Each structure stands twice: as structure tokens, then as C-alpha cells.
Structure 1
Amino acid sequence: MKSIIRAAIFASALVIPVASFAQSTAHTTRAQVRAELAQLESVGFHVGDGDATHYPDAIQAAEASVAARDASASSYGGVSSSTSQSGSRVSAADWNAMYSR
């Protein structure tokens, strides 16, 4: 019985450190932070303007503006005034030139 308890303790000692490292390994780079700050500044948010009392509201409003701008830029649909062609006919001479030896 004691060997079962020892085995359970040993197994849990091996499992606990593995579970503690189950975090995301994605780190934010300096370039990503600068790009995010540039996006926030493009919608009117200024870092360090001295208004610490409205900071949470201001940053959330700026992030919402960036999200809305990005959503409108990547939305589907809309009117297109351009035309496109999906292909053209291939003549027998072209076909023979491509596929005969």
C-alpha cells in the first residue's frame, strides 16, 4: 500500500510542474507594441497626455475605434465598379502547342 502512495506522490510531483508551464509562449515584441501605439494615435489617443483620471475610458474608446475601423476595412460586400474575366478560349493551335510533343 505504501508503494502505491509513493508512486502517486511521485507522479503528481512530475505532473504539477508541467501543468504550471501550460501558458502561452507568445511574447509581444517591441515592434508590435509600437504598431499598436501608432494605431491608437491614428484615432486620436495620445499616450502620456497627463489625464490619468479618464485613462481607462480613453484607451477603451480608442481601441473600440481601431476595432471598428479594422472591421469596416475588412468587411465583405459592397459595390464594385470593376469588371473581371474568368478566362478565355484556347484555340486548337495553342492547345496542341502546349500539350503535344
Structure 2
Amino acid sequence: MKNLIAAALAATVLAAPALSFAQAEQQPVTRAQVRAELVQLEKAGYRPNLASPYYPDDLQAAEARVAQQNGAAQASAYGASTNGSVQSGTRAPNIKPTYFGQ
């Protein structure tokens, strides 16, 4: 009986992520919404027709400016929310090649 309960519990735990969604309502984005976002990005300084080797950086900078403008418009008494960043890691090991010094 314990094996049956354990198997049912394991199946439930494994099936839960497949049945849960990040957003309750996922509505498709309309063409009008995409065009409005593109116009907003262009007003923030992004040029989609410019062949730039820094494409991702340019787009992210424009999106940050748009988010800042939208955040200023929706500011509350508690202040704007900030995105934190964390960096972690270890030093690269000091490994010398096999034929070091020969």
C-alpha cells in the first residue's frame, strides 16, 4: 500500500509542472499592439532599419528607456521597482599546459 501511495505522489509531483502555467491568461498579441510597441521603441531611439552590429544592445537600451518612461507614468507612492542583478562564480583554475617550460 505504501508503494502505491509513493507512486501516486511521485506521479503527481512530476505532472504538476506540466499542468501549471506562468500566466493565467495568455492572449495572442495583435498586430496593432506590435505596431504600437514598435512606434514606442522608435520614439525611444531604436532604428529597426539600421544595420548595426550592436543590434541587441541598441534594442535593449531602447526597451529600457521605454520601461523607464512607462514606470514614470505609473509611479506609486512606494517608488519604482528596480531590477537587481547578482553575479557569482569562481576563479578560473590555474592550470598549466602539459609541456609548460619546455
Equivalent of 1:18 in 7, 16, 21: 16
Q: Please tell me whether Structure 1 or Structure 2 has the larger radius of gyration of its CA atoms.
A: 1
Give the total of aligned pairs: 73
Show structure 1 runs of 5+ residues with no match.
77-101
Tell me the TM-score normalized by structure 2.
0.53
How far 1:7 moved relative to its partner? 2.0
Q: Which structure dedicates a bigger proportion of its chain to helix?
A: 1
Judging changes above 3 Å, is the alpha-carbon distance between structure 1 residues 32 and 21 closer, same or farther for their aligned structure 2 residues?
farther
Note if 1:70 corresponds to 2:70.
yes
Show structure 2 runs of 5+ residues with no match.
77-102
Separation in 2 of the partners of 1:16 and 1:27? 27
Judging changes above 3 Å, is the alpha-carbon distance between structure 1 residues 10 and 43 closer, same or farther for their aligned structure 2 residues?
same
SS of 1:50 mapped into structure 2: coil
Separation in 2 of the partners of 1:19 and 1:67? 31
